[in-house]
Amino acid sequence: MDKILRIDMGAEGGPKVSEVPAGEYAGMGGRALTSTMVAKEVPPLCHPLGAENKLVIAPGMLSGTSGAMSGRLSVGTKSPLTGGIKEANSGGQAAQVLARLGYAAIVLEGKPKGDDLYKVFINKDGVKISADNSLKMLPNYDLIEKMKTEYGEKIACISIGTAGEMKMCAASVAVTDMELRPTRHAARGGVGAVMGAKGVKVIVLDDTGMKMRPPKDPDKFKAANKKFVDGLRNHPVTGQALPAYGTNVLTNILNEAGGYPTYNFKEGRYVDAHKISGETQAETENARGGPGSATHGCHRGCVIRCSGTYSDKDGHFLSKQPEYETTWSHGGHCGICDLDAIAKMDFMDDNYGVDTIEMGVAIGVAMEAGLIKFGDAEGAIKLLEEVGKGTPLGRILGAGAGTTGKVFGVERVPVVKNQAFPAYDPRAVQGIGVTYATTPMGADHTAGYAIATNILKVGGFVDPLKTEGQIELSRNLQVATAAIDATGMCLFIAFAVLDQPETFQSLIDMLNAFYGLSLTGDDVVALGKQILKTERDFNARAGFTAQDDRLPSFFKTEPVGPHNVTFNVTDEELDQVFNW
C-alpha cells in the first residue's frame, strides 16, 4: 500500500485519475489515514456536499494480509450530518481487495459540473472511470447484480443506494460481503451523501492476479497471528457468544440491565425483548435456513463470525442477520417485536443505503410525534418506503433523527452533534454516555464501547449506575478504539485484547513482524491519542466547542426505569476526557 489513488471529479474535461506516492501519509492506515488526510486537506468550514470536501476510503494497516480479522474499511470525510469530522467503518471484502491492489487510499475530490453518474473500475492493470447513467436511482442490490453481470463475480464493490444519490444525511456507503451482497455498511454520518455529491455510484475492485501483502518477517507474523487467533477463540465473547448468537446476543443482557432504550428512550426495559433477542433470532435462522445459518463471517479471514443469514418462512433470503443495533432501532426502540418485519427493514436500509441506527431512531421520533403508533411495524415499513422514494416526508426522515424532531416539534430527540444515539441508555450505562457526549464523531457506541466494562465486565468492572471511573473508562477506550481502527482490525477483537494481555501483545507482534518495526503498547496508545487530537482539532476549527460535548438535557432531568436514574456525569467532568 505505497500509493494513493486520487480521482478529481471536477476536473476540466471530466474526472481525472492520478496515482501518487503515499508520501507524508506513508505507513498510515484506516482511521489514522482518513482523519489525518481530512484534517489536513479539507477546509473545516466547507460545505460537506461541496467541491472542497473529500471522501477518503482507506483499508487498515494489516488489510490485505493473511492476518485474521483485518478486513475493516474506513471511510472519512466532513460529515453532512454532524458538520464535523467523520470516520465510518465497515466490514466486507473491499478493504482486503483494495490493499492487495496496492492502494493506501482512494480519495474522491472535487465535484462534477454536470449530472452524470460515474462508476470506477480498478484492477491490476489500472483504473477506468466512466459515466453510466443507467445506474441512476438503482438500489444497492440491483446495482450489484448489474456489476456482477458486467465484471464477473470475483469482485468487491463499494457503492451507494438511492439515499446517497439524493444526498440524504443518513446515507451510507455499502460494501459487498463474501457472497457479493451489499450487506456491510460504513453507515454513520452521511458518508454516502458525500459519495453521491461526488457523482460516484460504485467503485468496483478486482484483485485477480494480485497476491497477499507479504510481511517483512513471515515466520514471526505467522506465529503472532496464530497466537492472536487462539486468544480470540478462547475468549467467551469472541469465541462463544458472538459466533452463536451474533451481536444481538446483547438484547437480553441490556434489557436485564435496564439499559435497553424503548419507546424513544422513555423506558429502559422492553417487555417483549425476548421475542427479538439474539437467542430467538439464531433459533429462527437455523430452523429456516439450516444449521449454521446464524454463524457467518462478513469477510474472508474472520474467525469471530458474528453475522448470519436471515431467511423468510419459506427459506428464501430476506436479509443478512440484523445486527443488535438494527434489531433495537427498528425493533425495541419503536415497540416492534416482529423479527420478520425487522429483517425486512434491515434489507430496505441496505438496499436504499441508509444507516439503520439513524433511520430507526428517526422513525421512533416520528412515532412520538404521532405520525404512526409505537408498535406499528407495517407503518414503519411504509415510512422507510417513503425514504427510498425520496418523497418530502422521506427526505425529512432521511435527514436523520435531529431533523425529524425539529420538523415535527418533538422535544425528546436522542442525538449528540445531530447524530442519533445507538442502543444503550446513558442513564443506565453512564460510561457510554460519556462516549456519546465527547467522541468527535457524534453519538457513537463504537468510539469507546464502555458496555464492555460497565455491563459485560470485560477489562474489569466499572459500576454502570455510578459516575466514578466513567471518564477514565471512556477516555481509555476511545484511545484504544482509534488505534484499532487504524489497523483495519475488527473492533470486536477488543474483548479479548482487554482481558488477555498476551492477545494484545500478539497484535503488536503482528504489526512489528509485518512492517519491521519495534512498536510497544505505549506506541499504540500514542497513535490513538494522536488520531483523537487530530479529529478534535478539525472539529474546533469547524466551530465546535465544549458545549457540543453534551447529552440532550432530558437525560439529566428524566429518570429512566427500572433503576430510576438520570445521567449524572457533570459537564466539568466531561471536559476532562481528553485532558491526558
Is residue 290 classed exposed, middle or buried when 0-12, 13-18 and 19+ CB atoms within 10 A define those classes?
exposed
Q: Please report, for residues 234, 249, 318, 341, 363, the alpha-carbon distance to residue 375 in angstroms, rounded to integers and kept in the order given.
A: 40, 22, 21, 11, 11
3-state class of 179 per DSSP? coil
Question: Fold identical between 3-205 and 259-425?
Answer: no
d(CA 339, CA 514): 43
Sign of CA dihedral 520, 453, 492, 37: negative
Q: What is the pLDDT of residue 256?
A: 98
Q: Please report, for residues 23, 217, 298, the alpha-carbon distance to residue 506 in angstroms, rounded to integers and kept in the order given.
A: 29, 14, 23
Q: What is the pLDDT of residue 301?
A: 85
d(CA 440, CA 417): 9
> How is the chain split into domains, by residue range?
3-205, 259-425
Residue 472: enclosing H or E segment and its boundaries? helix 470-487
| Helix 501-515, helix 218-234: angle, nearest 10 | 160
Q: What is the pLDDT of residue 563?
A: 97
At 446, list the grid cell: 463504537
Residue 541: enclosing H or E segment and its boundaries? helix 521-541
pTM listed for this prediction: 0.97
* Contacts (Cβ under 8 Å, ≥6 apart) of 46: 52, 53, 78
Q: How many CB atoms lie within 10 A of CB 374?
A: 17
Pairing of strands 126-131, 16-21: unpaired
Find out whether 198 and 9 touch, Cβ atoms under 8 Å.
yes
Q: What is the pLDDT of residue 480?
A: 96
Buried/exposed 75-98: b ≥16 CB within 10 Å, e otherwise: bbbbbbbbbbbbbbbbbbbbbbbb
Q: What is the pLDDT of residue 98?
A: 98
- Which candidate, 273, 347, 318, 300, places its Cα nearest to that of 156? 300
Residue 56: enclosing H or E segment and its boundaries? strand 55-59
Q: How many CB atoms lie within 10 A of CB 271?
A: 12
Q: What is the pLDDT of residue 300?
A: 83
At 7, list the grid cell: 480521482
Find out whether 159 and 201 touch, Cβ atoms under 8 Å.
yes
* Contacts (Cβ under 8 Å, ≥6 apart) of 190: 48, 79, 80, 81, 86, 168, 169, 170, 171, 400
d(CA 392, CA 372): 17
DSSP strands (E only) in 306-395: 309-311, 317-320
At 162, list the grid cell: 438511492
Residues in a beta bridge with 19? 5
The reply to whether CATH 3.60.9.10 applies to domain 3-205 is yes
- Which candidate, 114, 177, 97, places its Cα nearest to that of 141? 177
Which numeric CATH code is attached to 259-425?
A: 1.10.569.10
pLDDT digits (tens), the chain, 580 positions: 789 999 999 999 999 999 999 999 999 999 999 999 999 999 999 999 999 999 999 999 999 999 999 999 999 999 999 999 999 999 999 999 999 999 999 999 999 999 999 999 999 999 999 999 999 999 999 999 999 999 999 999 999 999 999 999 999 999 999 999 999 999 999 999 999 999 999 999 999 999 999 999 999 999 999 999 999 999 999 999 999 999 999 999 999 999 999 999 999 999 999 999 999 999 999 999 999 999 998 888 899 999 999 999 999 999 999 999 999 999 999 999 999 999 999 999 999 999 999 999 999 999 999 999 999 999 999 999 999 999 999 999 999 999 999 999 999 999 999 999 999 999 999 999 999 999 999 999 999 999 999 999 999 999 999 999 999 999 999 999 999 999 999 999 999 999 999 999 999 999 999 999 999 999 999 999 999 999 999 999 999 999 999 999 999 999 999 999 999 999 999 999 999 9
- Which candidate, 560, 554, 559, 553, places its Cα nearest to that of 571? 553
